[in-house]
């Protein structure tokens, strides 16, 4: 029986053992908790860190909020996993699919805007403070959010129904057209990744030339070092995003080519690799930005004083 012919609330359970259902539910719950907690931490730290431009802070916060929404949707999948069925009905499946689509679309736009901002920062360093202001960044985020929300009901208007994929525990719009899936794979993953990789390679070369020029002139290179770190950080964010969603897009193409159902384990791995992308950014920021890492430690120690306790040495 094809998934495309199933009603979202009548998907047949996979017949997993209670142990496997419990392990699956624990995995999905851990992913959801890490996404939610990690992105709340990103929002808190981004507001307080000082070595980032205001526009960068706005865009990082926007990306964290949209990733937080992905974490909220993962909580619903955890409930569906525990019950081994979709408990929220057809209407819930519609709203889940729209919610997920808006969150992913906003993530893509946020990553794109961060890349454009880094391009301006490196290629137009003197105009960057004038072009990329906090107010303009907020305006850009608001306009992008309105655009995504405006497009969200379109599948509903055109009677494109979402389906509950029991293998991946997700409600999503099903599309069996090989042409549309290939366009999705190329336009949303392969071509942007290749293009951004080439652009970043060029930007890194420019940044290194700036650094060498500053070293020869004996100028203060603090700002250039900051730009270098931000450049490398968002390059890793972009490549991680593309790498996490590539298997999901590839599975959709494979299903369209073969006309057969994808194994449930492959559906699960590809879908949750894409979802897990939303928890990786906090680790990337901490790994590549020492100021962000130190501020994260400070925020955690302030919110959870127990982590700050130490055992005093015994006095003889």
CATH number for the domain spanning 185: value is 1.20.1070.10
Contact 59, 113 (CB under 8 A): yes
| Position 313 in a domain | no
| Position 88 in a domain | yes
Tell me the pLDDT tens digit for each residue of 84-96.
999 998 889 888 9
Task: Collect the ranges in the chain with pLDDT lower than 50.
Answer: 1-8, 310-316
| Position 77 in a domain | yes
- What pLDDT is attached to residue 5? 38
Contact 272, 34 (CB under 8 A): no
Tokens 């719009």 label which residue? 173
- What pLDDT is attached to residue 173? 78
Bridge partners of 165? 170
- What pLDDT is attached to residue 143? 94
| Position 26 in a domain | yes
| Position 73 in a domain | yes
Q: Are strands 162-165 and 170-173 parallel, antiparallel or unpaired?
A: antiparallel
Share of the chain above pLDDT 70, in %: 81
| Position 207 in a domain | yes
Task: Count how many domains the chain has.
Answer: 1
Contact 68, 36 (CB under 8 A): yes
- What pLDDT is attached to residue 311? 43
Separation of alpha carbons 97 and 61, rounded Å: 23
- What pLDDT is attached to residue 255? 76
Find the domain containing 97 and state its range.
3-300
| Position 42 in a domain | yes
| Position 187 in a domain | yes
**SS3 sequence of 100-120:** HHHHHHHHHHHHHHHHHHHHH
């Amino acid at each position: 029986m094809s998934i495309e012919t199933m009603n979202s609330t009548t998907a047949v359970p996979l017949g997993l053992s209670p142990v496997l259902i419990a392990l699956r539910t624990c995995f999905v719950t851990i992913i959801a908790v890490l996404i939610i907690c990690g992105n709340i931490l990103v929002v808190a730290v981004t507001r307080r860190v000082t070595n980032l431009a205001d526009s960068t802070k706005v865009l990082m916060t926007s990306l964290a909020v949209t990733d937080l929404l992905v974490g909220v949707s993962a909580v619903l999948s955890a409930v569906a996993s525990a019950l081994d069925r979709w408990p929220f009905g057809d209407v819930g499946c519609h709203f889940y699919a729209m919610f997920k689509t808006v969150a992913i679309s906003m993530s893509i736009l946020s990553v794109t805007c961060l890349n454009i901002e880094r391009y301006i920062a490196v290629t137009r360093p003197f105009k960057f403070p004038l072009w990329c202001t906090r107010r303009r960044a907020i305006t850009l985020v608001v306009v992008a959010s309105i655009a995504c929300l405006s497009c969200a009901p379109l599948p509903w208007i055109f009677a494109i129904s979402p389906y509950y994929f029991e293998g991946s525990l997700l409600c999503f719009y099903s599309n069996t057209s090989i042409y549309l899936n290939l366009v999705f794979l190329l336009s949303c993953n392969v071509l942007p990744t290749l293009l951004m990789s080439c652009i970043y390679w060029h930007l890194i070369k420019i940044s290194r030339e700036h650094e060498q020029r500053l070293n020869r002139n004996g100028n203060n290179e603090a700002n250039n070092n900051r730009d270098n770190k931000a450049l490398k950080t968002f390059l890793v964010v972009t490549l991680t995003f593309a790498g996490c969603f590539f298997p999901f897009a590839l599975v959709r193409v494979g299903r369209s080519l073969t006309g057969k159902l994808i194994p449930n384990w492959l559906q699960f791995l590809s879908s949750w690799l894409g979802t897990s992308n939303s928890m990786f950014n906090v680790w990337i920021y901490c790994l590549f930005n020492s100021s962000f890492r130190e501020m994260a430690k400070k925020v955690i120690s302030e919110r959870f004083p127990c982590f700050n306790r130490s055992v005093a040495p015994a006095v003889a």
